[in-house]
């Protein structure tokens, strides 16, 4: 019974699959646009906007999620974005090791 409450809201409706909201749509649109950008500067700006939208979505779900599942997904996404690490959209082999310099 506890797992059922984890996936449902206060009215008993499932909350695993919901219609995407504005920040989640913005994350997708800006993410796709960053892949199609013609200059690295524009690609960087669009990636930043995409990440900002995802962080905004994660904050909303973490603190105002419809169920325990949605709050957990929001918190995990927020932690992943804040912790940083390797960008999953980055091409392999394009990142420089820390401390390396170009000569």
CA distance 85 to 21: 26
CA distance 26 to 93: 28
Structural domain including 71 reads 39-83
Evaluate whether residue 28 is within a structural domain.
Answer: no
Evaluate whether residue 71 is within a structural domain.
Answer: yes
User: Contact, 8 vs 15, CB < 8 A?
Assistant: yes
Evaluate whether residue 102 is within a structural domain.
Answer: no
Evaluate whether residue 59 is within a structural domain.
Answer: yes
pLDDT tens string, the chain, 103 residues long: the values are: 466 788 888 888 888 888 899 999 999 999 999 999 999 999 999 999 999 999 999 999 999 999 999 999 999 999 999 998 555 555 544 445 555 555 4
> What is the model's pLDDT at position 92?
46
Closest Cα to residue 54, out of 29, 84, 23? 23
**How many structural domains are present in the chain?**
1
């Amino acid at each position: 019974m506890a797992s059922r409450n984890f996936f449902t809201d206060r009215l008993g409706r499932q909350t695993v699959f919901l219609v995407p909201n504005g920040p989640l749509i913005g994350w997708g649109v800006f993410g796709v646009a960053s892949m199609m950008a013609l200059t690295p500067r524009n690609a960087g700006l669009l990636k930043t906007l995409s990440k900002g939208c995802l962080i905004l979505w994660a904050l909303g779900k973490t603190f105002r999620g419809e169920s325990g599942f949605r709050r957990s997904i929001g918190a995990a996404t927020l932690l992943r974005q804040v912790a940083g690490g390797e960008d999953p959209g980055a091409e392999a082999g394009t990142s420089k090791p820390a401390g390396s310099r170009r000569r």
